[in-house]
Amino acid sequence: MKWTRGHESQFVDDRRGRSKGAIAGLGIVGTIIAVLVSNFLGVDIRPLLGGGGAGGEPIPADQDRDRELKEMVSFVLDEAQAMWARELPRQAGIEYRPARMVLFTEAVQTRCGAADSGVGPFYCGGDEQVYIDLSFYRLLDERFGAPGDFAQAYVIAHEIGHHVQHITGVFAKARAAGRDDNATSIRQELQADCYAGIWAKATAKKDLLEAGDLEEGLAAAAAVGDDSLQKKASGHVEPERWTHGSAAMRTKWFRIGFDTGDMKACDTFAVASP
């Protein structure tokens, strides 16, 4: 993916280092909160960390690489938000308001509760912020088998997709209808994947995609499918515990967004089976 080195976004809040060592301080209550956040807002990668965010061995930091990653996610964040500032009013008649992105180390406090790196990247509607520990990208590459900068960009685009859902009232409608189950969560996550695909299409139109980028995005979507994560963590698949959808579902909806560029085509709630 073509992106501008040295890019800085006004919407990025770098809190890295402030929370180092805070995981142990979460205690039982904090751990329960983290698990809840994991279930409903992000991908729980604790089993792949050798026992959890508190007990797994940390992946060594690479300062030069982390600086480059910060520049890259800043660029992607601004590109994604600029696209939605154009497309949301045009396609849905709703004004877009920017989200912020918080970079953290190991653990963070949000208006959705406390969370640690084991949750993976997530969006909190309570403060309209995307949270990510950049060490997740090393996991995505080294342990999930989804390398590449466009795979990394897909993660940001997916979380901004959740912000779009928040603005358009998807989460509020689900709560008002009393739908707060795994099936609803899966449809919400797949719609965010589809919205990430819309951003990817807009990026392709700007000639920012390089050979293999689309495949990187699809590989990342597949790598964080519930079945993929369960196989890596325990060796077997339990569909009844899915919250984000299978690898096939996630790649399907990312592709729908990419092929159509149309929010209406991303209505995962309108189909009998996503």
The domains of the chain are located at 12-266
At 17, the pLDDT band (50, 70, 90 cuts) reads confident
What is the value of pTM for the model shown?
0.83
User: φ, ψ for residue 18 (rounded to 5)?
Assistant: -70, -30
Sequential DSSP letters for 180-209: -SHHHHHHHHHHHHHHHHHHHHHHHHTT--
C-alpha distances (whole Å) from 206 to each of 96, 149, 200, 267 are 21, 17, 10, 25
Exposed / middle / buried, residue 192 (Cβ in 10 Å: 0-12, 13-18, 19+): buried
In this prediction, residues 120-137 reach a mean pLDDT of: 93
Q: Where are the beta strands (DSSP E) in the chain?
A: 12-14, 100-103, 107-110, 113-116, 122-124, 129-132
Tell me the Cα Rg of the chain: 17
Give the whole-number percent of the chain exceeding pLDDT 70: 83
Pair 6, 71: CB distance under 8 Å? yes
125 to 130, 148, 150, 163, 243: CA distances (angstroms): 9, 28, 25, 7, 18
pLDDT 10s digits, 158-211: 999 999 999 999 988 888 776 778 899 999 999 999 999 999 999 999 999 898
